[in-house]
Amino acid sequence: MKPPMRELDVGMVTQQPTLTGAIMLCVHISGLDDRDLAKALAIDPAQWSRIKSGQAHFPQERMNRLMDICGNEAPLIWLASRRGYDLQAKLSLMEQKLATERHRADKLEEQNKLLRELVTGRGIA
């Protein structure tokens, strides 16, 4: 289960020219120190420096961990936007059940209203 993520200004994320830019924005927003982040990601500090300067690529298998540690999903938002997609979080099972029950309650309320109008004669024209 992923930790809660900070909401971001999508425009600020999509303005980044590269995925590396989005990764650096992710890190900047987190406020984490480079050394602490490199250690948490199990990346050598010298390698992290090369990644930041564009001389090396961020290891893709650590992208989820980066976003979890930083508490935001700037790289994911950037990539989805570049591919022409908008992101929407999946509903949890409880949220799905709640939406289904709300829909059912709304439908019953409509039927109830119609029956009341028919009984009182207000629904007959």
Helical axes 63-70 vs 19-30, angle rounded to 10°: 30
pLDDT (tens digit per residue) in 53-101: 999 999 999 999 999 999 999 999 999 999 999 888 777 778 888 889 9
Contact indicator for 72, 8 with CB cutoff of 8 Å:
yes
Give Cα separations from 42 to 10, 38, 46, 73, 111 (angstroms): 29, 6, 12, 19, 60
pLDDT (tens digit per residue) in 3-48: 788 889 999 999 999 999 999 999 999 999 999 999 999 999 999 9
Residue 50 in this model has a pLDDT that exceeds 70: yes
As a whole number of Å, the CA-based R_g of the chain is 24
Residue 123's pLDDT band (boundaries 50, 70, 90)?
A: low
Residue 125 in this model has a pLDDT that exceeds 60: no
Three-class SS state of 118:
helix
Mean pLDDT along residues 103-119 = 91
Q: What is the pTM of this model?
A: 0.70
8: Cβ–Cβ under 8 A, 6 or more apart, which residues?
29, 72, 73, 74, 77
